[in-house]
């Protein structure tokens, strides 16, 4: 290679380097600017994240306060989570009396007084003091509608976008409702035994009866366990359902005595649609 060719090669390399630097300088800030345009939405529990993301699409950035594996009955938020609240536009609270919200919503709201608080349970008919409203797909449809209304209040210029996303997701929830009806239609034994009584709304909507091991947040007494074993035998129950967020010790004792087994089902999966399909199939099979 002669000197002229070397010079041309060096100029070419220099040109490429300059282009790459320019791309970094001009493209990277633009990407950060696009991220800044997203609406910060805080939710209490993982299933709500799917509701918000399916309606908000690429217009939202969701932060979950109670992380996977934690219990919304006892969890305390980390300082970093409270800092995320300070820049959020919306807090979508479950609004059904969840212990986490009862303990922390006043502090959360005071952290960002400009933040819109959306009550996802507005227009839901409560059953006693059970806060697990999201575990009925029919209630989930109401929650999605409330989230949609919050988003268009904050970002009215994109109402059509949110409307299309909402309608598409509501159709999927309606399909889930129909699948659960079909799955449980032929089930003879309508009684299910669960450790944590989270499934009240699902049982109401689909004709099941929930028998709870834990009551009012308390483990059963030895006599209580004996009564549950007796009831399980009477009702031909061979499966005890437990949640990964709670101890399975009592459930295992009962399952052992009835020659049954313990099956884990979670009320707090972020992938709501997929999880509820699995739950319906599991309930239908026992």
Secondary structure (H, E, C), the chain:
CCHHHHHHHHHHHHHHHHHHHHHHHHHHHHHHHHHHCCEEEEECCHHHHHHHHHHHHHHEEEEECCCCCCCCCCCCCCHHHHHHHCCCCEEEECCCCCHHHHHHHHHHHHHCCCCEEEECCCCCCCCCCCCCHHHCHHHHHHHHHHHHHHHHHHCHHHHHHHHHHHHHHHHHHHHHHHHHHHHHHCCCCCEEEECCCCCHHHHHHHCCEEEECCECCECCCHHHHHHHHHHHHHCCCCEEEECCCCCCHHHHHHHHHCCCEEEECCCCCCCHHHHHHHHHHHHHHC
pLDDT digits (tens, 9 = 90+) for 52-97: 999 999 999 999 999 988 899 899 999 989 889 999 999 999 999 9
Residue 137, token pair as written in the block: 């797909």
Give the separation between CA 258 and CA 281, rounded to whole angstroms: 22
Spatial CA neighbour of 279 closest among 262, 265, 268: 265
Domains in the chain (CATH in brackets) are 36-180 (3.40.50.1980), 188-285 (3.40.50.1980)
Whole-number pLDDT of residue 20:
43
pTM to 2 decimals? 0.85
Whole-number pLDDT of residue 1:
57
Give the separation between CA 59 and CA 29, rounded to whole angstroms: 18
Whole-number pLDDT of residue 69:
83
Whole-number pLDDT of residue 2:
54
Cα four-point dihedral sign 172, 174, 175, 179: positive
Q: What is the mean pLDDT of each run of 10 residues along the chain (286 residues)?
A: 52 46 39 65 98 98 92 91 93 97 96 97 97 98 98 98 98 97 90 95 96 91 96 95 90 96 95 96 88
């Amino acid at each position: 290679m002669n000197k002229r060719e070397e010079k041309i090669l060096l100029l070419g390399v220099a040109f490429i380097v300059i282009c790459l630097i320019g791309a970094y300088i001009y493209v990277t800030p633009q990407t950060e600017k696009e991220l800044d345009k997203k609406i910060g939405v805080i939710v209490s529990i993982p299933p709500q994240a799917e509701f918000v993301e399916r309606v908000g699409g690429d217009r939202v950035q969701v932060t979950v306060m109670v992380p996977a594996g934690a219990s919304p009955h006892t969890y305390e938020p980390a300082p970093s989570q409270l800092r995320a609240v300070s820049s959020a536009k919306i807090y979508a609270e479950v609004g059904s009396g969840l212990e986490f919200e009862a303990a922390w919503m006043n502090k959360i709201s005071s952290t960002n007084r400009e933040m819109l608080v959306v009550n996802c349970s507005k227009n839901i008919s409560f059953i006693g003091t059970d806060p697990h409203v999201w575990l009925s797909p029919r209630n989930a449809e109401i929650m999605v509608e409330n989230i949609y209304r919050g988003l268009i209040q904050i970002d009215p210029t994109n109402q059509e976008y949110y409307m299309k996303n909402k309608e598409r997701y509501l159709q999927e929830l309606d399909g889930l409702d129909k699948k659960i009806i079909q799955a449980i239609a032929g089930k003879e034994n309508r009684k299910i035994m669960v450790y944590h009584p989270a499934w009240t709304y699902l049982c109401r909507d689909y004709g099941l009866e929930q028998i709870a091991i834990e009551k009012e947040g308390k483990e059963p007494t030895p006599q209580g366990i004996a009564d549950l074993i007796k009831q399980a035998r009477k009702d031909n129950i061979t499966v005890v359902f437990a949640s990964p967020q709670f101890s399975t010790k009592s459930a295992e004792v009962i399952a052992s005595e009835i020659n049954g087994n313990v099956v884990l089902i979670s009320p707090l999966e972020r992938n709501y649609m997929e999880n509820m399909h699995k739950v319906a199939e599991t309930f239908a099979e026992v």
